[in-house]
Amino acid sequence: MNTKALQPVRLSPQETAFVRGLVIYEDAEVLALNKPSGLSSQGGRGQVHTLDELLWAFAKPGKPRPRLIHRLDRDTSGVILTAKTKPAAGALGKAMMGRRFSKTYRAIVTPGAPEPRGGVIDVPLRRDEQGREAFTRVCPPDHPDAETARSRYRTLAEAPGAALLELEPETGRMHQLRVHLAHVGRPIAGDARYGGALVVGGQPVPRLMLHAAALKFPHPSGGEKRLEAPIPDDMASLIAALGLTVA
């Protein structure tokens, strides 16, 4: 979350319409969007605006623009939450640091369901910088850079060569779900960085098949809020083509 004074970003009418079309929930304090795959949350390279910059489409005179509370990887789609006020940003930031956010993902993995079909992957991770690229690696618990990482999973559907999983990260390390699943021999389809298949069951995989399907969090005004983002068409099509539809 960036709290520095920011210069407004000039957006085209097309960009404004695009980001407004991503909204799945809004009230006086929070704004949630269904981020598409391929859009960087923050700090992207190149000429294309990041989601953080596109949030200027919601700026109102005399008020701060919405600010991101968390991030999703560029190639991951799904629910992403922003705060519309400074008090809301503070409350949500504390809740996230206190691990009071609950995130649920869907992923297509290969070559089938993990063994066992449900459980917890509890394997430490470390960040590995290689030039301008950052990777996450499995490491021993006594490694000086080791960070605790726990991912809960269960199999929703299985077909020859693939499975559809529901994932709940208990910690929020970079690329955590991707690396944990690769570690147990079930990399996420389309994840070229960590060994994911680019063709599954004769079907080309257009991108990383990881979607942030739901987010539950303490609302700044009190109580809990749960938001859901529908699975994108390209992922839904692959689920159907592979016979992974959940009854």
The residues near 241 (Cβ < 8 Å, ≥ 6 apart) are: 201, 203
The residues near 224 (Cβ < 8 Å, ≥ 6 apart) are: 216, 217, 218
- Nearest in space to 238 (alpha carbons), one of 193, 183, 194, 197: 197
Say whether 55 sits in a helix, a strand or coil. Answer: helix
Task: Report the C-alpha gap between 18 and 16 in whole angstroms.
Answer: 5
Q: Which of 52, 73, 75, 191 is catalytic?
A: 73
Give the helix/strand (H/E) hosting 162.
strand 162-169
Q: Tokens standing for 175?
A: 């690329």
Task: Report the C-alpha gap between 111 and 175 in whole angstroms.
Answer: 20
Q: For residue 59, how many other CB atoms are within 10 A of its CB?
A: 15
In the annotation, is 73 catalytic?
yes
Bridge-based pairing state of the strands 23-26 and 77-83? unpaired
CB 164 within 8 A of CB 239: yes
Active site residues: 73
